[in-house]
Structure 1
């Protein structure tokens, strides 16, 4: 299977990120963070995940 080249700034839908997820944990996190019907660049999706991981836990 060959990898498809992407162009900088190319946007993908939530389903594309879920299909490309490398692990179940990554897939679950993307499922929660990404909105249906929206498109994201790879950088935007990575930033959402990074911001979520840095947020403070509420008790």
Structure 2
């Protein structure tokens, strides 16, 4: 299998994968990340795995 690499889904998203901004809800005791419902329901089996992995910036 020359030129083919086996992808490990545990490695996370790869260059060229789609991404979306997710809403964040803050209160005094928690941070809640809210993914787009359409992203969850419209994802087909061939598009899996679906990663919900928000980036964090601490300023």
- Quickly name the TM-score band, shorter chain normalised: under 0.3
The structure with the greater share of residues assigned to helix is 1
Q: Which has the bigger relative contact order, CA under 8 A and spacing at least 6?
A: 1
- Greater C-alpha Rg: 2
Of Structure 1 and Structure 2, the greater strand share is in 2
